[in-house]
Amino acid sequence: MRRYFPFVIVGVVAVITLVSATVLYRATRPPVLTIPQNRSAAETKDADSTHVLGRPDAPVTLEEFGDFQCPPCGRLSDPINQLERDYSSRLRLVFRHFPLGMHVHASEAAWAAEAAGLQGRFWEMHDLLYREQDVWSKASDVRVLFSSYAGMLGLNVDRFKKDMESDDVKARVALDRSRAAAIGVSNTPTIFINNQAVDTKSMSPDGLRAAVDAALKNVKPPS
């Protein structure tokens, strides 16, 4: 029995090492973000502050947490719009604000989009802000540019300026930020497809299209 004892010791040490490595791996790997069902885009309690494109019964929902001054968000804006056009009734888009502190004009841009939304032009301002990102991001006074954008969209500019400063508009943006914090969002763009976070490696036009296709294949047909 004694001659086998060293081998037993080696075996025990190997098992302990393997278990420790497994625990360490699980502790250090990044968690996969998901949106709990009770916080899904379908909930209605914050419907007034939710910006949605597409049919409410679409089988796939793409929910984005974005920052208007974030360059990767800007690069994905047109491709995401194209997905909505291509998939039509099968896909709906949800946009949530997550202005990052490192972007000095991001919060003001979010307020501008919300102010435009109060006049029924959220998505038009959303697209314009991303399209003109390189211009206003470098401006010393973005309010002047944002007001000019409001005029281009046919908005009541005086009302737009007032709404941009309103507590209601700022509360809408703050609501999205609190939602992001609750589900672990920490950067932009963060995109969920049917409540499952899209891997950063798939954060490209082709990757998002593949993720939408995969979600459609997983949709159960109506019974």
146-175 pLDDT tens trace: 999 999 999 999 999 999 999 999 999 999
Whether residue 222 lies inside any domain: the answer is no
Whether residue 127 lies inside any domain: the answer is yes
Residue 19 binned pLDDT confidence (cut-offs 50, 70, 90)? very low
pLDDT at 13 over 60: no
Query: Structural domain tally of the chain?
Result: 2
The residues, ordered by sequence, that sit 6+ positions from 184 with a Cβ below 8 Å of its Cβ are 31, 33
Backbone angles phi and psi of 190, in degrees to 5: -115, 125
Is 87 found in the same domain as 60?
A: yes
**For position 220, what pLDDT does the model report?**
78
Is 157 found in the same domain as 134?
A: yes
Is 197 found in the same domain as 89?
A: yes
Question: Cα Rg for the chain, rounded, in angstroms?
Answer: 23
Is 112 found in the same domain as 161?
A: yes
Is 194 found in the same domain as 100?
A: yes
CA-CA-CA-CA dihedral for 166, 168, 169, 173, to nearest 10: 130
Is 58 found in the same domain as 160?
A: yes
Alpha carbons 72 and 77: distance in angstroms, whole number: 9
Whether residue 223 lies inside any domain: the answer is no
CATH number at residue 110: 3.40.30.10
**For position 104, what pLDDT does the model report?**
96
**For position 57, what pLDDT does the model report?**
94
Is 141 found in the same domain as 178?
A: yes
Whether residue 45 lies inside any domain: the answer is yes
Which two structure tokens, joined as six digits, stand for 105?
Answer: 């004009």
Is 79 found in the same domain as 163?
A: yes
Give the domain range for residue 23. 1-30
Is 122 found in the same domain as 181?
A: yes
pLDDT at 24 over 50: no
**For position 29, what pLDDT does the model report?**
42
